[in-house]
Amino acid sequence: MEWLLQEKHRSVRQSVRRFCDRELRPIAANIDQEGRFPWGVAEKMGGLGYFGIQVPKSLGGAGLDSLSYAIVIEEISRVSAAIGLCVTVHNSVAVYPILSFGNQEQIEKWIPPLARGEKIGAFCLTEPNAGSDAGGIEATALADGNDYIVNANKVFVTNGGIADICLIFCRTDPSAGRRGISVVVAERGTDGFVVGDLEDLCGMRANPVCSIRLYDCRIPSSNLLSKEGMGLRIGLAALDTGRMGIAAQAVGTAQAALEEAVLYAKQRHQFGVAIGKHQSIQTMIADMATQLDAARLMVYRAAALKDKKLPFSKESAMAKLFASEMATRVTDLAVQIHGGYGYSKAYAVERYYRDARVTRIYEGTSEVHRMVIAKSVLEG
Amino acid sequence: MEAGALHIVVCIKSVITQAPKGKIIRTAENSMLNPFDRPAIEVALRLKRANGGSITVLSMGPPAAEAALREALAVGADRGVLLCDPALAGADTLATSNALSAAAKALMPYDLMLFGTRTSDSDTGQVGPQTAVLLDLPMITGINKLTVKTEHLLVEREVDGFLEIYEISLPAALTIHPKAATPRDPSLEGIAAAFDEMTVDLIGIEQLEIEPEKTGKAGSPTRVLSMKPVQKDRSCDWIEGTPVEQADALVRRLVNEGLIG
């Protein structure tokens, strides 16, 4: 696949890898166990442009392409999937929709601090009773003079505990069904904006995933993104890009698991030889490497299509579906190769296994992705 | 130009990242900017930030070496020059120094030439000093601190437990010790600019004043005859006694072998 990549992409990979190996690797296991967000590293990432990867330079971003974006997410996730998650969600489903659907005033107000990582973004769609069925959300934003009065109970908000700028999906016209859904930008600190407790999750523990609740929160109507009723369109556009990031994240986690498995297969001796000499281990390694390679190609293809401004929605859905399922298989095999040690927190593969699992669930479950892909295939 | 503003030429190398198996073919995949050159680039960047001036990065190498120059552009170098010519292939350190010094003359006027102390692949440490000799520049090696004065530099090097402070007149050449400065990371914006907007000047030997027989394989008085990995024997000695006796014996041994002071 190297023919897909240019020198620039290799340089992006090399520099992000060097940074993450030096700054993030030494603390990756601890921040997972302590459920702690590493502010120090995040600030450095902000200075290097990781929070505005595709934002134009004129707005304080790095001005890179989608392939570079996928590589950055892959490399951060190779070291810490939870921080890869923070960066991809911020870039793809917070920054991107503001950039694409915001007006000039909104872009100039919110994008520069987001792009520099001085403010963190979050995407607030999921509710206790609305997950895969995004049209079923209950949050409301009712007009009151020049404001909206917003009431919302958003759960499983990635970056929720640290987010300053939140895209709230809510009903501006409760009688209009799916067409009544809009996106209102809520800023932390507004009266009635409440950050809930951190979720105690299986993986991605260094990401402050939590609920965000808005109680009679008065938000100026100038914070409406695009027009009323555009909510689901904005959400779907954001998720097309977002799922590419999640796929890249799954690739990074699987890459880390494969590297650990290969290292262990060479070191660990049983029956008088390194276990990598046993055919059963070789079969696992071969399957892991092949599936990982296929997933990576799919992610890069989706990114390359987007860079060429060609349709990439189906390809990005396929990449997300395949990469997330691949990552759970590959991390599972990495645990298997490690035997009992793979089930211990003393070895990194235990964390990779936990982190990989959610990639099949968030930003669209595997099941929803199959629906999207099938629709696209059947309806041509 | 304002006082203290220097034109600094930093000579860098694109090194091989993997141990060679058979003939070495340098590609973008197995190449990277020599890590020992990064502190030299960083020192140049700090001098530029403090005093103004400009930075040219210069390298001799195959086309794949261009990426290393762009990495220097990504952190803030102003110009990248790649001396690239099939006639330069197979150069040893002397032939490399001949070529680099000819290229440096083409970049005149400059005030300071910086090198890393060595490279992570061939590790000779010879190219910096040889190039300085060929350019008739004063040189001090292994610098870990430097200050710009009006017509000269004050530089420090640590050697054998001593701190040496020198004055050196400009133009001068220095090799920079890795302790001198922790190199910065390129920002993504810097990488985008270096690859999407900036150019690297390619020059061949016909653009330089150099006799072809002094470069490449023809100009190399030394030749690598063979190269193979060294097999290291490992052994394990058991130290007996109570834990305190074991610890004492271990410390004594490490001291005797000069491993701890």
What is the CA B124 to chain-centroid distance, rounded? 11
- Interface check for A73 against chain B (CB to CB < 8 A): the answer is no
Coil vs helix vs strand at B217? coil
- Which of the two residues, A184 and B232, has the higher pLDDT score? A184
Q: How many CB atoms lie within 10 A of CB B200?
A: 21
Distance CA A287, CA A330 (A): 8
Contact A57 B192 (CB under 8 A): yes
Distance CA A279, CA A292 (A): 20
A23, A75, A363, A367: which is the annotated catalytic residue?
A363
Cα–Cα–Cα angle for B195, B198, B204, rounded to 5 degrees: 100
Token pair in block for residue B201: 């000047």
Confidence of residue B229 (pLDDT cuts 50, 70, 90): confident
Distance CA B250, CA B235 (A): 15
Token pair in block for residue A187: 């800023």
Distance CA A211, CA A355 (A): 20
Residues paired with A7 in a beta bridge: none
The answer to whether residues A89 and A83 touch, using CB atoms and an 8 Å cutoff, is: no
Q: How many CB atoms lie within 10 A of CB A367?
A: 11
- Over residues A99-118, the mean pLDDT reads 97
pLDDT greater than 80 at residue B99 = yes
**Strands annotated E in B87-237:** 112-116, 139-148, 152-159, 162-169, 172-176, 200-203
Token pair in block for residue A298: 């799919």
The gap between the terminal CA atoms of chain B, to the nearest Å, is 49
Contacts of B150 (CB under 8 A, 6+ apart): B3, B4
Confidence of residue B28 (pLDDT cuts 50, 70, 90): confident
Q: Which residues on A lie below 8 Å from B70 (Cβ)?
A: 7, 11
Candidate from A147-161, A318-332, B56-70, B213-227 with smallest mean pLDDT: B213-227
- Over residues A338-363, the mean pLDDT reads 97
Q: What amino acid occupies position A25?
A: R
pLDDT greater than 50 at residue A307 = yes
CA dihedral A49, A54, A56, A59 (to 10 degrees): -50
Token pair in block for residue A30: 């601890």
Distance CA A186, CA B139 (A): 61
- Over residues B161-168, the mean pLDDT reads 94
- Over residues A68-73, the mean pLDDT reads 98
pLDDT of residue B22: 66
Q: How many CB atoms lie within 10 A of CB A183?
A: 30
The answer to whether residues A252 and A76 touch, using CB atoms and an 8 Å cutoff, is: yes
Token pair in block for residue A325: 């399922």
Domain ranges of chain A: 2-119, 122-229, 232-378
The answer to whether residues A241 and A96 touch, using CB atoms and an 8 Å cutoff, is: yes
CA distance B187 to chain A (A): 4
pLDDT of residue B16: 87
- Which of the two residues, B223 and B39, has the higher pLDDT score? B39
Confidence of residue B224 (pLDDT cuts 50, 70, 90): confident
CA distance A167 to chain B (A): 26
What is the CA B200 to chain-centroid distance, rounded? 19
Q: How many CB atoms lie within 10 A of CB B247?
A: 12
Nearest CA in chain A to B189: A62
Q: Give which of B189, B197, B198 to mutate to test A binding, by max A Cβ within 10 Å.
A: B189
What is the CA B256 to chain-centroid distance, rounded? 34
Q: How many CB atoms lie within 10 A of CB A130?
A: 17
CB nearest B188 (choices: A2, A18, A49): A49
Distance CA A5, CA A95 (A): 25
3-state helix, strand, coil in chain B (%, to 5): 35, 25, 40
Contact B191 A18 (CB under 8 A): no
Give, in words, the CATH class of A122-229.
mainly beta
- Interface check for A51 against chain B (CB to CB < 8 A): the answer is no
Tens digits of residue pLDDT in A114-173: 999 999 999 999 999 999 998 999 999 999 999 999 999 999 999 999 999 999 999 999
Q: Which of A123, A354, A120, A82 is nearest to A225 (CA)?
A: A123
Q: Which element (helix H / strand E) includes A126?
A: none
Q: Give which of B191, B196, B197, B198 to mutate to test A binding, by max A Cβ within 10 Å.
A: B191
For chain B, the average pLDDT equals 91
Distance CA B64, CA B70 (A): 11
Q: Which residues on B lie below 8 Å from A47 (Cβ)?
A: 187
Say what the ipTM of the complex is: 0.92
CA distance B200 to chain A (A): 13
In the residue annotation, A363 being an active-site residue is answered as: yes
- Interface check for B74 against chain A (CB to CB < 8 A): the answer is yes
Q: What amino acid occupies position A15?
A: S
pLDDT of residue A1: 54
pLDDT of residue B233: 85
Could you tell me which CATH number the domain at A232-378 has? 1.20.140.10
C-alpha distances in Å from residue B147, one per residue of A72, B57, B76, B138, B167: 37, 21, 20, 16, 10
Q: How many CB atoms lie within 10 A of CB B254?
A: 12
pLDDT of residue A74: 98
Q: Which fold has domain A2-119?
A: Butyryl-Coa Dehydrogenase, subunit A; domain 1 (1.10.540)
Candidate from A2-11, A36-45, B78-87, B148-157 with smallest mean pLDDT: A2-11
Could you tell me the pTM of the whole model? 0.91
- Interface check for A337 against chain B (CB to CB < 8 A): the answer is no
> H helices then E strands: how many in chain A?
12, 10
pLDDT greater than 90 at residue B121 = no
The answer to whether residues A11 and B74 touch, using CB atoms and an 8 Å cutoff, is: yes
Coil vs helix vs strand at A193? strand
Domains of chain B: 6-214 (3.40.50.620)
Handedness of CA A257, A262, A267, A271 (dihedral sign): positive
- Over residues A97-122, the mean pLDDT reads 97
- Interface check for B183 against chain A (CB to CB < 8 A): the answer is no
- Over residues A83-109, the mean pLDDT reads 97
- Interface check for A87 against chain B (CB to CB < 8 A): the answer is no
pLDDT of residue B1: 44
